[in-house]
Chains A and B, each alone.
Chain A
């Protein structure tokens, strides 16, 4: 889909995407094996949880694909903002807001809309994500406030509010779980391959990734978006619409995160559960990084993280691997992928000749 012709026009200067993905997969596998062997009381069970169980049958694989879908959407959102030079860290709250809005629309809208409530839930999720992103976006547009600072603050604030809403007025008191009432099955996305949890979500992700890739690599707006992200002053002087670029990517990212939150509710979870976003905003930044900020690589990067998540969860249940091992491995994968040791530097270090910065 991406011809080399345009690559030459739009070079990011980073190491190639396949190489990054390969490094990430190798690191993740090595760390998972290490964690299973070193931290679990039953290493063989833990190893099996990581390396055998997720691939043992079609339904486990499809579950993993389904699990990767919301993460991929969030990562796509991260890419949209980061490539505009806005370092939005508010993904967590945006996704969480998408979840509660979708659950509310799906639950309360079912009476009026029937199965149409699914669509209402998706729309509500997208809008809620955009709403959480609105203050950072507008602050940037009208006051020039750093999205990095405002997004995390607003997101943190909304997390408190949503925690309260799910645990308070919207809570389903009949269960032990702090969660909203479960949605009707008809309001959820249809399962395509029972018993797996696969829904239409991964296909939506694929379409969006292809579209985003086309946007960045092949359209004039995408090129302007990239140039703005790397040098806003330059983009302004070239006459691009920098006012729109100062806020629209932030809102678009909020919508993608909101959609991700909605799909979590309408897919495997079935309702909004307290704390359900579970660090997805941070994982998404990692996945975006593993994908080298290229939308075309997002599905694979998300799948890698989904595998780590499900493997770690299985291992925690079956053996006594600490459940946070998955998050720790993800963090280490991010660190490894972010490094770009240059060979000249390595060679110079081996020879111990001092190197200095060339002007």
Chain B
């Protein structure tokens, strides 16, 4: 019997004026992994949210085990045995792991008070059952990225587990954690659960899935078996244009040092620390640093962009201390910076897209130009067009999707010449084609003589673009030999396996 059936689902969002799902059909059998793939904005997440009761469809039916249902919240879906592991953290960071799992279902004593012991005990039982080792009392914000993901998975399994929906679960996981997750998924599958698996990673999907549904423009375009395709074939299905022949080669030779870190140490930030990092990024090269969450990548981003001064050591831009540059000079033509924290640092979400696009070059206009001229708007339009942000200028940034927001940041930062480019997770939220466009723009800037520092938690970014790669593990940098190190070497270094 089919565990879940979604028939002709439609969902329209008035706030963004988008028809997210447009008549999609989807089904899930007992004991199968059904992968859901497609470009950003194809409607995968919305479909998953409808199945999990976060959204109700405008039309169409959802049936669980053959009987139609109408969920009014995720709680209802949980009662039907549906668990959800979201793409972005939906945990309360200041609460303990156990409190997060118990939220909304707290055991009580005297009918009023939270029974804290019981909360922790239930959590331990659950963790033991699925082979996780998270401390129930650990505050979520102190956990590593994979620890947090484990809590999310436990929460999804705590009530039910007949259906598990995972939205890009491996995006922040290392090799080992990914393997563990896959083992768990296979175990649940053999116990008869149905798993919906949303991902961009062709290889994983081929490994794991029993069926693959490809979504485009709000519809499920086709459903295939993994045997019918290979990695490149699947990638082509996800994106219409072929994208499998990526990889750019440096056309120039490295020049003078653009960005230099000399034994930089930054501590007192928990797991996110740096321990004597030495790094030179020369003009005309791309240096990639890859790390999984909580190994010091954020710390490296902060010191390299000059947001935080190091405890000890030097950060030099073009041979001069980064803090000797007045902020205005540093940010006009010397350093371009794409931050990981897009909403907090990269954008002013409550201002218009156009103003965000030209925010970096305000000082470039004369008083009269800005007051009376048409240049600001024309520039904004041109910048946005360069990264294919459509009809954006007038809207507020917070009405854009994540991918479009990232493109606005990229359009602003990667516009002009810059001596140094610090790009931290620049491809987050981008679909394959815009990701390719962004990487090729970074390569272009390198060829024009920029020193590019690429910080990423996705090894694929590094292997595609970097001239030299480093891995950051527990705050220490380790060079990988030569360009194009193979994936398993990176994976080993990322997770601290000694060669």
Give me the interface of A with B, judged by CB distance under 8 Å.
Answer: 5-6, 8-13, 214, 218-220, 223-224, 226-227, 230-231, 233-242, 344, 353-354, 356, 358-359
**Chain A residues whose CB sits within 8 angstroms of the CB of B305 once the complex forms:** 237
The segment out of B146-154, B308-316, B373-381, B465-473 that lies at the interface is B373-381
Q: Can you list 10 A-B contacts with CB-CB less than 8 angstroms, sorted by A residue number?
A: A9-B352, A10-B355, A219-B370, A220-B362, A227-B348, A230-B351, A231-B348, A239-B326, A239-B329, A356-B54
Known: A223-B370, A231-B348. 19 other contacts (CB 8 A): A5-B377, A8-B354, A9-B358, A9-B380, A11-B352, A13-B396, A218-B371, A218-B372, A220-B363, A223-B355, A227-B355, A227-B359, A234-B347, A234-B348, A235-B348, A237-B346, A239-B328, A356-B54, A358-B55
Could you say which residues of chain A place their CB within 8 Å of the CB of B109?
none
Cβ of B327 within 8 Å of any chain A Cβ, yes or no, is yes
Interface stretch, picked from B92-100, B134-142, B331-339, is B331-339
Query: Is the CB of B340 closer than 8 A to any CB of chain A?
Result: no
B370 A234 Cβ-Cβ under 8 A: no
The answer to whether B54 touches A239 (Cβ under 8 A) is no
Known: A219-B370, A356-B73, A359-B54. A9 touches B365 (CB 8 A): no
| Given A9-B377, A241-B328, A354-B56, also A223-B49 (CB < 8 A) | no
**Measured between alpha carbons, how far is A236 from B330 in the docked complex, in Å?**
11
Does chain A have a CB within 8 A of B360? yes
Known: A5-B374, A8-B394, A241-B328. A356 touches B55 (CB 8 A): yes
Report how far A139 CA is from B142 CA in the complex, Å.
Answer: 32
Q: From B74, which residue of chain A is reached at the shortest CB distance? A: A356
Query: In the complex, which residue of chain B has the Cβ closest to the Cβ of A236?
Result: B327
Known contacts A238-B360, A344-B14, A359-B54; decide if A9 and B347 are in contact (CB<8 Å). Answer: no
B345→A237 contact, CB < 8 A: yes
Q: Known interface pairs A11-B394, A220-B363, A237-B307. Does A230 touch B331 (Cβ–Cβ under 8 Å)? A: no
Q: Are B307 and A11 in contact (CB under 8 A)?
A: no
Q: Which residue of A lies closest to B325 (CB)?
A: A239
A8 to B395, CA, bound (A): 8
Task: Please report the C-alpha to C-alpha distance between residue A65 and residue B313 in the assembled complex, in whole angstroms.
Answer: 63
Contacts A9-B355, A236-B327, A239-B328; is A231 near B349 (CB within 8 Å)?
A: yes
Given A218-B371, A227-B359, A233-B344, A10 contacting B337 (CB threshold 8 A)? no
CB-CB nearest 8 A-B residue pairs: A239-B331, A218-B371, A239-B328, A239-B327, A231-B348, A11-B352, A230-B350, A220-B362
Within the complex, the shortest CB–CB distance from A206 to chain B, in Å, comes to: 20
With most chain B CB atoms within 10 A of its CB, the pick from A6, A226, A239 is: A239
Given contacts A13-B350, A218-B370, A359-B49, contact A237 B339 (CB under 8 A): yes
CA distance A234 to B219 in the complex (A): 37
Contacts of A239 in B (CB 8 A): 326-332, 360, 363
List the A side residues contacting B380 at CB < 8 Å.
9
Q: Chain B contacts of A5 at CB under 8 A?
A: 374, 377
Q: How far is the CA of A13 from the CA of B353 in the complex (A)?
A: 12
Neighbouring A residues of B56 by C-beta, 8 Å: 353-354, 356
CB distance from A321 to the nearest CB of B (A): 41
Contact of A234 among B359, B374, B393, B395 (CB under 8 A): B359
* Alpha-carbon gap, A234 to B360, bound state (A): 10
- Residues in chain B near residue A9, CB distance under 8 A: 352, 354-355, 358, 376-377, 380, 393
B348 in contact with A230 (CB, 8 Å): yes
Given A218-B371, A239-B327, A239-B331: A10 touches B352 (CB 8 Å cut-off): yes
B485 within 8 A of A: no
A343–B64 alpha-carbon span in the complex (Å): 33
Q: Which residues of A contact B360 (CB under 8 A)?
A: 238-239
- Asked if B367 is at the interface (CB within 8 A of a chain A CB), the reply is yes
> A226 touching B351 by the CB < 8 A rule?
yes
Give Cα A263 to B492, complex, Å: 74
**Chain A nearest CB: distance from B334 CB in Å?**
10
A215 CB to closest chain B CB, in angstroms? 10
The residue on B at minimum CB distance from A345 is B14
A234 touches B345 (CB 8 A): yes
Q: Which residues of A contact B374 (CB under 8 A)?
A: 5
Q: Enumerate chain A residues within 8 angstroms of B372, measured Cβ to Cβ.
A: 218
A217 → chain B closest CB, angstroms:
9
CB–CB A227/B351 < 8 A? yes
The 8 Å CB contact of B328, one of A231, A240, A354, is: A240
B13 within 8 A of A: yes
> In the complex, what distance in Å separates the CA atom of A356 from the CA atom of B359?
34
Contacts of B350 in A (CB 8 A): 12-13, 230-231
List of A residues within 8 angstroms of B241 by Cβ: none
A14 to chain B, nearest CB (A): 10
Closest to B13 in A: A358
* Cβ–Cβ contact A220 & B367, under 8 A: yes
Asked if B133 is at the interface (CB within 8 A of a chain A CB), the reply is no
User: In the complex, A238→B347 CA distance in Å?
Assistant: 10
Which residue of the partner chain A has the closest CB to B371? Answer: A218
Q: Find out whether the CB atom of A358 lies under 8 angstroms from the CB atom of B15.
A: yes
Chain A residues with Cβ under 8 A from B15's Cβ?
Answer: 344, 358
0 or 1 for each of B70-88: is its CB under 8 Å from A? (1 = yes): 0011000000000000000
Whether A238 pairs with B371 at a CB distance below 8 angstroms is no
| Measured CA separation A314–B332 after assembly (Å) | 59
Instruction: Please tell me if the beta carbons of A238 and B359 are within 8 angstroms of each other in the complex.
Output: yes
Residue of B nearest to A358 (CB): B13
Give the chain B neighbours of A240 by CB distance below 8 A. Answer: 327-328, 362
* Least distance between A267 CB and chain B CB atoms (Å): 33
Closest CB-CB distance, B224 to chain A, in whole Å?
Answer: 29
Q: Across the interface, which residues of A come within 8 angstroms of B49, CB to CB?
A: 359
Bound CA–CA A233/B337 (angstroms): 13
Output the least CB separation between A266 and chain B (Å): 33
B351 A10 Cβ-Cβ under 8 A: yes
Residues of B within 8 Å of A238, CB to CB, are 331, 359-360, 362
C-alpha spacing A231/B396, complex, angstroms: 14
Known: A230-B351, A358-B15. A237 touches B396 (CB 8 A): no
Bound CA span A109–B26, Å:
85
Choose among B45, B73, B337, B352 the residue that contacts A237 (Cβ–Cβ < 8 A).
Answer: B337
A354 — nearest CB in chain B belongs to which residue? B72
Chain B proximity of A213: nearest CB distance (Å): 12
> Given the complex, which residues of B lie within 8 Å of A6, measured CB to CB?
376
Contact status B362-A224, CB under 8 Å: yes
B352: A residues at CB distance < 8 A: 8-11
A354 to B346, CA, bound (A): 35
Is the CB–CB distance between B345 and A233 below 8 Å?
yes
Most buried by B among A5, A9, A240: A9
CB neighbours of A356 from chain B (8 A):
54-56, 73
CA separation between A344 and B55, bound complex, in Å? 15
**For A233, what are the chain B residues with a Cβ–Cβ distance below 8 Å?**
344-345
> In the assembled complex, which residues on chain B have CB atoms less than 8 Å from the CB atom of A223?
355, 359, 362, 370
A224: chain B residues at CB < 8 Å are 362
The distance in angstroms between the C-alpha atoms of A11 and B307, with both chains bound, is: 28
Complex contacts, B354 vs chain A, CB 8 Å: 8-9
* Distance between Cα atoms of A231 and B397 in the complex (Å): 12
Minimum C-beta distance from B338 to chain A (A): 11
State how many angstroms separate the Cβ of B132 from the closest Cβ of chain A: 26
